Amino acid sequence: MKVIVEVKGLKKQYFAGRGLFRKEADIIRAVDGLDLTLYKGKNLGLVGESGCGKTTAGKLILGLIRPDSGSVKINGTDVFDKCKKKRLLLKKSAQIIFQDPYGSLNPRMKIGDIVLEGVDIFRLAKKEGREKRLKKLLGLVGLPYFAKDKYPHQFSGGERQRIAIARALSTEPEFIVCDEAVSSLDMSIRAQILNLLKDLQDNLGLSYLFISHDLNVVKYISDQVAVMYRGRIVEYAESSLLYQNPRHPYTKLLLSANLSANPDERKRKFILPELDDKLTKEYKETPPPLEEVEPNHFVQPC
């Protein structure tokens, strides 16, 4: 299979303290040695609690922020290449759908201008072809053509997320980061957007990095799942393997907190302090590399 995204040793840290006398405790390791591989036409789910580094990882992969070390390649090209032309071409082939479908849209722009903004930047259509392209993009996400003359506040949350998806598709990308793309929507609309994303993938050959804290959503849409804890991947496997046989304590914690459709089902509940008690100081500071515990199932020993 063709590799679309390859991430190696990616690190990004921030300083919580100020002044000359910062302490080691003031360093926040948002992403701490991330390794990921995403294949063409496949979905990789990135899961973990809030603050574990998922969104920072997504922004690093797209080059929206620079890492302290490590590399990211999309279609074999370094995202942080010094050549401005190469970086610009990567922005065409890789896009993002944000969590907030209202905050990510300019309230002063009409929908047609929002959707075609990338088309205009990359000069993908001449004046006479813009409207035809716009009509196709709106149709792909299930919106009527007359929506082009309205503003974001005139649409529901689900409709606004469809607009954001149409904008992401406008440059004909191969790879899209979905950063909590359905978490702000109610359940019925969430299912519609997930089905739309799957249909678009089948029709357009897209690859998704699907960032979420909702394991039910990730299970539905992802081919592979990477579990992130303290800025690192602690378990990585095919979706079916991970859900049937979780190995790392943190993965078990996440699954135990996941709501079941069966109200009579009871699970052993883990809590975060209980997990922290299991992990030594050495493990937290210098975690060991992943080990393959069964075919295509990798776990960080602890």
Predicted TM-score of the model (pTM): 0.89
Return the higher-pLDDT residue of 6 and 26.
Answer: 6
**pLDDT at residue 268 greater than cutoff 60:** no
**pLDDT at residue 262 greater than cutoff 80:** no
The rounded percent of the chain whose pLDDT value lies above 90 is 63
pLDDT at position 110: 96
Binning pLDDT at 50, 70 and 90, where does residue 259 land? low
pLDDT at position 257: 76
pLDDT at position 242: 94
How far, in Å, CA of 258 to CA of 274, rounded? Answer: 17
Closest CA to 270 of 245, 287, 291, 249: 249
183 exposure class (CB count in 10 Å sphere: 0-12, 13-18, 19+): middle
CATH number at residue 122: 3.40.50.300
pLDDT at position 106: 93
Could you give the angle at the alpha carbon of 57 between the alpha carbons of 55 and 60, nearest 5°?
110
pLDDT at position 129: 86
How far, in Å, CA of 40 to CA of 227, rounded? Answer: 21
Binning pLDDT at 50, 70 and 90, where does residue 294 land? very high
User: Taking all residues of the chain, what is their mean pLDDT, rounded to a whole number?
Assistant: 88
Q: What average pLDDT score do residues 277-287 get?
A: 70
Tell me the per-residue pLDDT of 39-67, one tens digit each, with 9 for 90 and over.
999 999 999 988 899 999 999 999 999 99
Binning pLDDT at 50, 70 and 90, where does residue 223 land? very high
Domain, as residue range, for 195: 3-299
Written as one string, the DSSP assignment of the chain is: --EEEEEEEEEEEEE-S-SS---GGGEEEEEEEEEEEEETT-EEEEE--TTSSHHHHHHHHHTSS--SEEEEEETTEETT-S-HHHHHHHHHHEEEE-S-TTTTS-TTS-HHHHHTHHHHHTT-S-HHHHHHHHHHHHHHTT--GGGGGS-GGGS-HHHHHHHHHHHHHTT--SEEEEESTTTTS-HHHHHHHHHHHHHHHHHH--EEEEEES-HHHHHHH-SEEEEEETTEEEEEEEHHHHHHS--SHHHHHHHHTSPPS-TT---PPP-HHHHHHHS-HHHHHSPPPPEEEETTEEE---
Return the higher-pLDDT residue of 18 and 290.
Answer: 290
Tell me the per-residue pLDDT of 144-178, one tens digit each, with 9 for 90 and over.
999 999 999 999 999 999 999 999 999 999 999 99
Binning pLDDT at 50, 70 and 90, where does residue 18 land? low
**pLDDT at residue 266 greater than cutoff 60:** no
Q: Which residue has the tokens 């907030």?
A: 100
Closest CA to 101 of 12, 166, 14, 21: 166
The total domain count for the chain is 1
pLDDT at position 38: 95
pLDDT at position 139: 96
Tell me the per-residue pLDDT of 120-139, one tens digit each, with 9 for 90 and over.
888 888 877 899 999 999 99
